Amino acid sequence: MNKVEAIVLRTVDYGETHKILTLYSAQMGKIAALARGAKKPRSDLAAVCQPFTYGTFLLYIGERQGMGTISQAEVLDSFRAIREDLFKAAYASYVAELTDRFCADREPSPSLFLLLQTVLHYLTDEDKDPEVLVRLYETKMLDLAGIRPELYHCAHCFRPVETSIRFSILHGGPLCGACHQSDERAVWMKPVTLKLMQTFQGMDVRRLGQTRVGDDVKRQLNKILRQYLDEYSGVQFRSRGFLDQLHKYEI
Ligand SMILES: [Zn+2]
């Protein structure tokens, strides 16, 4: 038996009454686990098998390193405030999907666990801008995926950039003043947008204070990070569509 602290990234129904959970745990990293009977409302596991729930799980894991089976579990934090808010739930789904897609099975990372836990916690905090949190998380995921952009040198001539007005997806980084025409599809950005991206790369998420980022900067960050992720990760994110729909109709 293994006792792990974990966050539920995803749940999939299995048969009439069971669920298969994708957990991200502090001790074992990402792991799949079968929750028998968890779809029954009166099951002891029903509450803990909800997306984004943080709990302790007692897992039986066979020798063949396959899926674990949950024998007992206990909720430590249900993050109910996230599930009850359409926007927060959409952001959290995207954070969970990023984690799921970029983490290999059974590769523990205590720092990533702490990051995920902190971001979910901050999503429930009205002082923290969820969009900024998600951009910060995306930046951290680029590191994990091994596609961290170089933000301190021009992506075309490699000289240090003090300030940059465009970001080139093609070259994979900011362009200096002399090179900004080297990629006609490069995205325009304010100097503060690049500064923010640089800050995100080195930032301990727990130190994120109250965030006030202008809408234009948020739009630029979204555009740059999305295009960059699409180009270099090759992953199609299911949860993004829902997030886009919400913003489109401003529910
Ligand atoms: Zn240059």
Cα of 87 to ligand 1 centre, how many Å? 39
Phi-psi map region of 58: left, alpha, beta (phi>0 left; psi -120 to 50 alpha): beta
Q: pLDDT digits over 189-209, tens only?
A: 999 999 999 999 998 888 887
Tokens of 218: 């948020």
Q: Residue 154 has what pLDDT?
A: 96
Going by pLDDT thresholds of 50, 70 and 90, the confidence category of residue 137 is very high
CA of 181 relative to ligand 1 center, distance in Å: 10
Distance 233 CA to ligand 1 centre (A): 25
**Residue 202 Cα, ligand 1 centroid: separation in angstroms?**
23
Residue 57 has pLDDT above 80, yes or no: yes
CA of 199 to the centre of ligand 1 (A): 21
The 3-state DSSP class for residue 168 equals: strand
Q: What's the whole-number mean pLDDT along residues 49-65?
A: 89
Are 205 and 115 in contact, with CB atoms under 8 Å apart?
yes
Looking at residue 64, what is its pLDDT?
Answer: 66
| C-alpha 81 – ligand 1 centre gap (Å) | 46
Residue 89 Cα, ligand 1 centroid: separation in angstroms?
A: 41
CA dihedral 88, 80, 15, 94 (to 10 degrees): 20
Angle between helices 130-144 and 215-233 (to 10 degrees): 30
Residue 174, pLDDT > 60, answer: yes
Residue 186 pLDDT greater than 80, yes or no: yes
Residue 165 banded pLDDT, cuts 50, 70, 90: confident
Dist. CA 137 → ligand 1 center (Å): 28
Does residue 32 contact residue 10 with C-beta atoms inside 8 Å? no
**From the CA of 135, how far away is ligand 1's center (Å)?**
25
Write down the residue that tokens 């007992």 correspond to: 72
81-251 under CATH 1.20.1440.120, yes or no: yes
Q: How remote is the CA of residue 226 from the centroid of ligand 1, in Å?
A: 23
Question: How far does residue 158's CA lie from ligand 1's centre (Å)?
Answer: 6
160 alpha carbon – ligand 1 mean position (Å): 8
CA of 164 to the centre of ligand 1 (A): 9
Euclidean distance between CA atoms 245 and 159, whole angstroms: 40
Average pLDDT over residues 69-78: 96
Greater confidence, 239 or 163? 239
Q: Are 35 and 18 in contact (CB under 8 A)?
A: yes
- Sketch the domain layout of the chain as residue ranges: 1-78, 81-251
pLDDT digits (tens, 9 = 90+) for 217-234: 999 999 999 999 999 998
Q: Which CATH superfamily does the domain covering 1-78 fall into?
A: Nucleic acid-binding proteins (2.40.50.140)
Cα 19 to averaged position of ligand 1 atoms, centre (Å): 52
